[in-house]
Amino acid sequence: MTQTRTRRDLDTRDSESRRRAWQRPETLPSPDPEPGYTFHWVRVSTRGEVDATNVSSKLREGWEPVKASDHPEITVVTVENERFKDNIVIGGLMLCKTPVEFVEDRNSYYRSMAQSQMESVDNNLMRENDPRMPLFNQRQSRVTFGNGS
């Protein structure tokens, strides 16, 4: 008595698979990654009013507007601003890109600024220190869990 069985790799579970749950579509689509570049959405308008100050500061920082022809996977239905008609603008935000090195340099700059500000606060605090009554300056946090009681 021989049994005829189907091979395991031919067996599909389409009838047993769960129905896919509805997901809200993302408001700002993510472009296909380009090696060596970082993408960022820059505000060009708020409530229909053009934000020229923000756009010009971001362009001076080194962000370059992305052409719609460079990323056909992002569909743009309407043109919101005639100045940026060849770029990807969605909901008052324009897609821009810059080299990864620029982002790393900028993050390093702001990290060092924050570090120098913390050192300044510490120096100002310790200036008031007296050996008879030392100040306690601890910059660590701990996570503890209850013992169940």
Residue 76 is assigned to a structural domain of this protein: yes
Residue 74 is assigned to a structural domain of this protein: yes
Residue 144 is assigned to a structural domain of this protein: no
Write down the pLDDT at residue 140.
66
Determine contact, residues 71/32, Cβ cutoff 8 Å: yes
Domain that holds residue 77: 36-123
pLDDT band with cut points at 50, 70 and 90 for residue 112: very high
Write down the pLDDT at residue 42.
92
Write down the pLDDT at residue 25.
74
Residue 12 is assigned to a structural domain of this protein: no
Mean pLDDT of the 15-35 span:
79
Determine contact, residues 124/112, Cβ cutoff 8 Å: no
pLDDT band with cut points at 50, 70 and 90 for residue 43: very high
Number of domains the chain is built from: 1
Mean pLDDT of the 120-135 span:
75
Residue 28 is assigned to a structural domain of this protein: no
pLDDT band with cut points at 50, 70 and 90 for residue 104: very high
Residue 11 is assigned to a structural domain of this protein: no
Residue 3 is assigned to a structural domain of this protein: no
Residue 65 is assigned to a structural domain of this protein: yes
